Amino acid sequence: MFCSVNSSEDPEKIKQAISNVFPNSKIKNENYSISAISKDLNSFEKIYETIQLNKSQKSYRRSLEQNLKNDSTWFYLNKQAAFVEKIAICEEAEESPLGPIKVVLTSSNIDGIIDWIIFD
């Protein structure tokens, strides 16, 4: 995960937003950005639950497949929504006024990961 920190934002609040969506990730604050890494698929549990509850598989699949390249894909999440423990995918970066959280997935079995996230 990666997101920029605007001068008007509190980096601690952005760290909290990432923790709300991706528990158990290792968060690192660097100058004007925050990144987080997790090798545990359970980190996606909240996203998985939201996709299933909201029946939003089509928008996530479209985003994941559209951004698929080799063994990696990505999607954007709304930073403000993440801060209040909500998960909202952004089709474009501009949909998140203060900038999105970019979630990058990398795996030698990326198709299997996408299927796990989208389906059960």
CB burial class (10 A; 0-12, 13-18, 19+) of residue 51? buried
Strand partners for 36: 27
Enter the pTM of the model: 0.88
- Answer whether CATH 3.50.50.100 is correct for domain 2-118: no
pLDDT band at 44 (very low <50, low <70, confident <90, very high): confident
Mean pLDDT, all residues of the chain = 89
pLDDT of residue 31: 82
pLDDT of residue 42: 82
Structural domain spans, the chain: 2-118
pLDDT band at 41 (very low <50, low <70, confident <90, very high): confident
Distance CA 117, CA 111 (A): 10
Please indicate whether residue 89 or residue 68 has the higher confidence score (pLDDT).
68
Contacts of 49 (CB under 8 A, 6+ apart): none
